[in-house]
Amino acid sequence: MLRYVRNNISEVEYHTWFAPVKPLGVQQGSLVLGVRNSFAQEWFRKHYLELLEDALRSLGAQSPQVSFQVLPAVQDAMMLPVNEPEVSPPPRTRALPGPAPLPVGSGENRKSLNPKYTFENFVVGPNNNLAHAAALAVAESPGRAYNPLFIYGDVGLGKTHLMHAVGHYIAERYPDKRIEYLSTESFTNELINAIRDDKMTQFRNKYRSVDLLLVDDIQFLAGKERTQEEFFHTFNALYENHKQIILSSDRPPKDIQTLEGRLRSRFEWGLITDIQSPEFETRVAILKMNAEHRHIDIPQDVLEQVARQVTSNIRELEGALMRVVAFSSLNNVPFSRAVAAKALSDVFASQEVNVEMKDVLRVVGERFGVSTDILKGAGRARDVVVPRQVAMYLIRELTSHSLPEIGQFFGRDHSTVLHSIQKVTEAVGKDADLTAHIDALRQILQGGDPLG
Ligand code: ADP
Ligand code: MG
């Protein structure tokens, strides 16, 4: 349950609020969580109730209930959130006047890093292995491997993920290093605010004193002269002090229009590396990892179906997988290639699933508990004849095979096939059981909407 929570909120939030929580047990069907004080109690009710209920649902609870109880004060003292300052040691010297030091420590460093974007969670393929290797090299020796590291590629291919991965890697090993991740837009906005509020000194100090600066989507510097000017000075200050800079962009520096020449050349000082669209195998591997992280068991052929249908970028690939999961659970149908194709059909170029005669035979056989050999055989018992007729009916409907071809497949002539299909056609709508079977089979084979 905590894993679920952790995956859905930031690291800092987690440590602040959830780390100190004590589960107290279940009372009248409600999970009782012990919290530090009434403020925390209120806060949980307001902000985390839904998340906790979702977490319980993810564990299979039907109608989850969560309540909170304030823990006795004795324990209170031991339950400070971990990133709150602990009892501070007596000052050795008189505190110097001046601005409060900037907060350091891994919690603070990682506040703007997505906890999921780590190297462990990054699938390496031929499309991104150079960028990955470069990022890892930079993470291992910041400021000394490649500076700056410039990663470019289309949207949704993993640039932000890789940048964050470097951030996590360094934050873990050097908790005191100052890491700043921000988008070019945030940099611009902060700069504008700093100018307006007369806080340029603070602004400069902030960005010129970091150990690792990660700036995302630097192509948005285009046309912003004042931001470029300020970024130029930030860049120089960091570079001269051997502080690592990583930049991402949707295109290489030479293609960023209206970028000052001196900035462009600086961006080219280090290493420029690109990420391409992932190939099929990499897409499947990413989907597989995603499903595992979410503890969802999805058959390989279904993952492959999704990977075949969604080729553009990884964000969409992940979205597509979630769509398939939602579709299958909302309609209460098991995962299958057909279900995947159907779930994705209105969003992604629909790829008709080619239904083959043997697929129909197999699925019908499974449903009625009759082997495919018997279905194709000569037996005339009713519990064989009906499934056989259903199979012929569905083959006719879902494939483009002619009656003689179907006959040949079953070792019968085409008039027998026609007769069988007529039988089923007459029964559909009248025989509720049979109709339900056929709907379900169609659904399994083709992903037709089970709700009508
Ligand atoms: P970009 O910044 O290039 O637009 P992101 O880094 O935001 O792309 O990646 C989009 C999504 O795809 C994120 O959820 C990210 O975790 C995921 N992703 C990208 N590349 C990979 C990869 N190689 N392995 C696993 N997940 C990836
Ligand atoms: Mg990005």
> What is the average pLDDT across 224-250?
96
* 154 CA: nearest ligand 1 atom: 3
* 116 CA: nearest ligand 1 atom: 16
In angstroms, what is the span from residue 161 Cα to ligand 1's centroid? 5
Whether residue 234 is annotated as binding a ligand: the answer is no
Q: Which of 125, 116, 128 is nearest to 158 (CA)?
A: 128
In angstroms, what is the span from residue 158 Cα to ligand 1's centroid? 3
Q: Which domains are present in the chain?
A: 1-70 (3.30.300.180), 119-274 (3.40.50.300), 280-345 (1.10.8.60), 357-446 (1.10.1750.10)
Query: 137-154: per-residue pLDDT in tens?
Result: 999 999 999 999 999 999
How far are the Cα atoms of 11, 84, 111, 156, 312 from residue 15, in angstroms, in the given order? 6, 10, 11, 29, 36
Query: 21-43: per-residue pLDDT in tens?
Result: 777 777 777 788 887 766 567 76
Query: 311-361: per-residue pLDDT in tens?
Result: 888 999 999 999 999 999 888 888 999 889 889 887 776 555 667 898 899
What pTM did the predictor assign?
0.61
Query: 251-264: per-residue pLDDT in tens?
Result: 999 999 989 999 99
In angstroms, what is the span from residue 431 Cα to ligand 2's centroid? 55
Residue 315 near ligand 1, beta carbon < 6 Å: yes
In angstroms, what is the span from residue 286 Cα to ligand 2's centroid? 17
Whether residue 188 is annotated as binding a ligand: the answer is no
Residue 132 near ligand 1, beta carbon < 6 Å: no
Residue 160 near ligand 1, beta carbon < 6 Å: yes
Whether the CB-CB separation of 384 and 370 falls below 8 Å is answered with: yes
